[in-house]
Structure 1
Amino acid sequence: MLGKKSKSYILLMQISMQMSLLLAMAKSYFRATKAFSEGSPIGDALGPMVAGSFVRSIAQRDDVEASEIAKDTILQEVDFEDRTIYVVRAKGPGGTVGKPGTAIKKLVEEHGDSIKRIIMIDAGLKLSGDKTGSVAIGVGAAIGGIGVEKYYIEDSTTKKAIPIDAVICRQSLEDAITTMKRPITQSVADIVEKIKMGIRKRTPKGAKVIVAGIGNTIGIGV
């Protein structure tokens, strides 16, 4: 219909060449509906899952108090090797991404220069040759969306010169929105250890650190 209406052969060729990509995206979104209807954790839930695993790994218990610091966003405080760790993530197990940027901004404004580092964990789009579940470490605010939450993070941390580390788990679009695959689940323990190592090596004792698990909390409880 579009080709007939526009009478454009070039437009039809463009759509034809993109059809395989469009079909792949459509199938991914169709499969995603099953995960959300069942309440199953999806690939994008990696960040909150890592945050929860990190808290349990340090506290050695499941009942660490969680307070709501922003809309649909919880804060848990734990001590790790003479450092205070503020763990931020969306509130589960409902399907929400929360307001991590707002939460981090509040913590930075409250604690100021005592915050020595921020570590963010999120799912990242992989390239064709990348292995699903492989981990990449970089710098900067690891968060997607339209940019509002990212602005809050970068604006507040830039004023205080607080460095941000990013830990990314590589996955495809389909992996991110469908039920979490085994390679992604298996990367959680490795990421938790990388966070611990980063805190040990890059922050002094007595410091305060923010660990933010970014992502959709569908199927991920406190």
Structure 2
Amino acid sequence: MLEILMGNAGDIWNQILTLIITIVIILNFMTDLPQRAQTARYSKSAAQRLAQLEALVLEGKRRAARYLAKLGAPNSYDMVEEFSENFFRIQPVEIEPTDIIRRLDHIIRTQEKDAEAYVKARLSGISDAARRNAMVTLSIAGALHTVYKVLRHYYLIGRKYDNWVLLMQLSMLLPQYLKELVPYVKAIDAIMQGVPIGDGVGPMVANMLLGLSERREVVEDTVVGVTEVDGRRVYVIKAAGPGANVGKPGKAVAKVADELGCRITRIITVDAALKLEGEETGTVSEGAGAAIGDPGPEKIEIERTAVRCSAPLGAVIVKMSNEEAITAMKREIAEAARKAYEQVLRIIRSRTRPGDNVIVVGIGNTLGVW
């Protein structure tokens, strides 16, 4: 009798197990419950990260507003919000390549002029350096605002259409975006303090070459000075400091070349460059081409001038991370600026002759660098 009961009990448990497996298979393969579970899981994760990103963006805006208030801006937070929603740029038509650089340059200059007029109207009576710092601060706040809006858009699209794959991608990417955007908030502090940033290594090298030599404005927001290196006449170009300014190095190179009647032996560009993971901060490297992170107009102006004047175009770069490029300059980068300066001198001495004309361009943001 006991054996019969045990046998029946075993059959019952087998039936229960079969039923459970059948239900699991049906729920997994014949309903959308797994997708709904995935949607709920990744939606919660993305929402939490997005809330952290929103807090970061708001902190950036508040810091920008405090700085503008110190400069005398009325309703500074409203000014940040208004700037963030406006002054966007639409890329020119690309399927017709004719004069695309000229059209892009025109659009960029229009955007810059409109933004500058906006800042001037609300911050009258401040110095040019302070005005440039205010414009860069507003640009950073605007960039943070735009990134948040785009990511929020994709999150809401994922929620709206129950797209768990999109929500999964967002939940995995948002931590990286958070880490990438933190330095932009820190960059506002560097601007408020007026200290050099990592991207200022190019202007710093230019300043080392010029020393106390006289400088003149060659094009808008860009200066040139002349110095001598062992009998070579060196024309050094950089953005006008000490405000947050990148100038117009391409147009400056073209104008100096025209003034010299294209009698140029070599053009050397010096700039910061993003390092690869595993590379050391402050590594100095030399190569060929125009070292400049530009949408196109300034870089192509340098390249065209080099070709027109048959002048070799060289580059000296200092490697650093994105965070190091936009925050207060680290000691390793300041020391690398000295190495880059010595490298430029070696190039001039070894690849040109006494009596030659050389153009050296210090590319980058000249914040805190005269």
- Give the TM-score range, shorter chain: over 0.9
Which residue among 126, 131, 143 is the counterpart of 2:275? 126
The structure with more radius of gyration: 2
Q: Does 1:93 align with 2:242?
A: yes
Q: State the percentage of identical aligned residues.
A: 44
Could you tell me which residue of structure 1 aligns to residue 314 of structure 2?
Answer: 165
Which residue among 179, 184, 206 is the counterpart of 1:24? 179
Deviation, 1:49, is: 0.5
Task: State how many pairs are aligned.
Answer: 215
Q: Note the alpha carbon deviations across 1:140-167, whole angstroms, 9 max, x for none.
A: 0011121110011111211222111100
Could you tell me which residue of structure 1 aligns to residue 97 of structure 2?
Answer: none
Could you tell me which residue of structure 1 aligns to residue 160 of structure 2?
Answer: 5
Which residue among 164, 181, 193 is the counterpart of 1:38? 193
- Alignment RMSD (CA, Å): 1.1
Letter in 2 for 1:5: K
Could you tell me which residue of structure 1 aligns to residue 304 of structure 2?
Answer: 155
Aligned pairs for 1:75-114 (under 5 A) are 75-114=224-263
Is 2:202–2:270's contact at 8 Å kept on the other side of the alignment? yes
Higher mean Cα deviation, 13-22 or 64-73?
A: 13-22
Is 2:209–2:227's contact at 8 Å kept on the other side of the alignment? no
Deviation, 1:119, is: 0.8
Q: Does 1:198 align with 2:347?
A: yes
Which residue among 55, 71, 88 is the counterpart of 2:220? 71
Q: Secondary structure at 2:260's aligned position in 1? A: helix
Distance in 1, matches of 2:157 and 2:166, equals 8
Could you tell me which residue of structure 1 aligns to residue 337 of structure 2?
Answer: 188
Could you tell me which residue of structure 2 aligns to residue 59 of structure 1?
Answer: none
Distance in 2, matches of 1:6 and 1:91, equals 51
Question: If each structure's helix is expressed as a fraction of its own residues, which one has the higher value?
Answer: 2
Change in Cα spacing, 1:6 to 1:43, as seen in structure 2 (3 Å) is farther
Could you tell me which residue of structure 1 aligns to residue 363 of structure 2?
Answer: 214
TM-score, normalised to structure 2, is: 0.57
Question: If each structure's strand is expressed as a fraction of its own residues, which one has the higher value?
Answer: 1
Distance in 2, matches of 1:214 and 1:95, equals 13
TM-score, normalised to structure 1, is: 0.94
Change in Cα spacing, 1:201 to 1:31, as seen in structure 2 (3 Å) is same
Q: Secondary structure at 2:343's aligned position in 1? A: helix
Is 1:109–1:156's contact at 8 Å kept on the other side of the alignment? no
Change in Cα spacing, 1:2 to 1:26, as seen in structure 2 (3 Å) is farther
Could you tell me which residue of structure 1 aligns to residue 288 of structure 2?
Answer: 139
Higher relative contact order (CA 8 A, sep 6+): 1
Deviation, 1:86, is: 0.1
Q: Note the alpha carbon deviations across 1:79-99, whole angstroms, 9 max, x for none.
A: 111110000000100000000
Q: Secondary structure at 2:186's aligned position in 1? A: helix
Gaps of 5+ in 1: 57-61
